[in-house]
Amino acid sequence: MAEALLAIDGLTAGYGQTEILRGISMTVEPGEIVAVLGSNGVGKTTLNKVISGVCGATAGRIVFAGQDITNMAPERIVAAGLIHVPEGRKIFPNMTVRENLELGSYRRAKASRATNLEKVFETFPRLMERTRQAAGTLSGGEQQMLAIGRGLMAEPRLLILDEPSLGLSPLLVEEMFGLVRRINADGLAVMLVEQNVVQSLEVASRAFILENGVFALQGNATDLAASDDLRRAYLGM
Partner 1 sequence: MLRSYPPQIVLEAVLNGLLTGAVYALVALGLTLVYGVLHIINFAHGAMLTLAMFAVLMVHLGFGLDPYLAIAPLAALFFLFGYGLQRFVISPASRNDDGAILLVTLGLSIVIENALLAVFRSDTRSLTLDYSFSIVDLGFALLSLPRVIGFGVAILVAGALWAILALTDTGKAIRAVAKEKLGAALVGIDVNHVYAVTFGLGAATIAIAACLLMPSFYVNPRAGNAFVLVAFTVVVLGGMGSIPGALVGGLIIGVVESLCGLYLGDSLGQIGIFLIFILVLLLRPTGLFGARA
Ligand X SMILES: Nc1ncnc2c1ncn2[C@@H]1O[C@H](COP(=O)(O)OP(=O)(O)OP(=O)(O)O)[C@@H](O)[C@H]1O
Contact residues for Mg ion (CB under 5 A)? 44-45, 87
Residue 210's DSSP bridge partners are 215
Alpha-carbon distance 140 to 130, whole Å?
14
Name which of ligand X, Mg ion, partner 1, none residue 90 binds, using a CB cut-off of 5 to 8 Å depending on partner kind. Answer: partner 1
Binding residues among 52-71 for partner 1 as defined by CB under 8 A: 52-54
The length of the chain in residues reads 237
The reply to whether 47 sits near partner 1 by the rule CB under 8 A is no
**Minimum distance from CB of 121 to Mg ion (Å)?**
29
Binding part of the chain for partner 1, among 106-114, 163-171, 176-184, 211-219 by CB under 8 A, reads 106-114
The reply to whether 84 sits near ligand X by the rule CB under 6 A is no
One of 87, 99, 155, 175 touching ligand X (CB under 6 A): 87
Name which of Mg ion, ligand X, partner 1, none residue 17 binds, using a CB cut-off of 5 to 8 Å depending on partner kind. Answer: none
**Minimum distance from CB of 201 to partner 1 (Å)?**
26
Binding residues among 150-209 for ligand X as defined by CB under 6 A: 195
Interface map 110-139 toward partner 1 (x if CB under 8 A): x-----------------------------
The reply to whether 107 sits near partner 1 by the rule CB under 8 A is yes
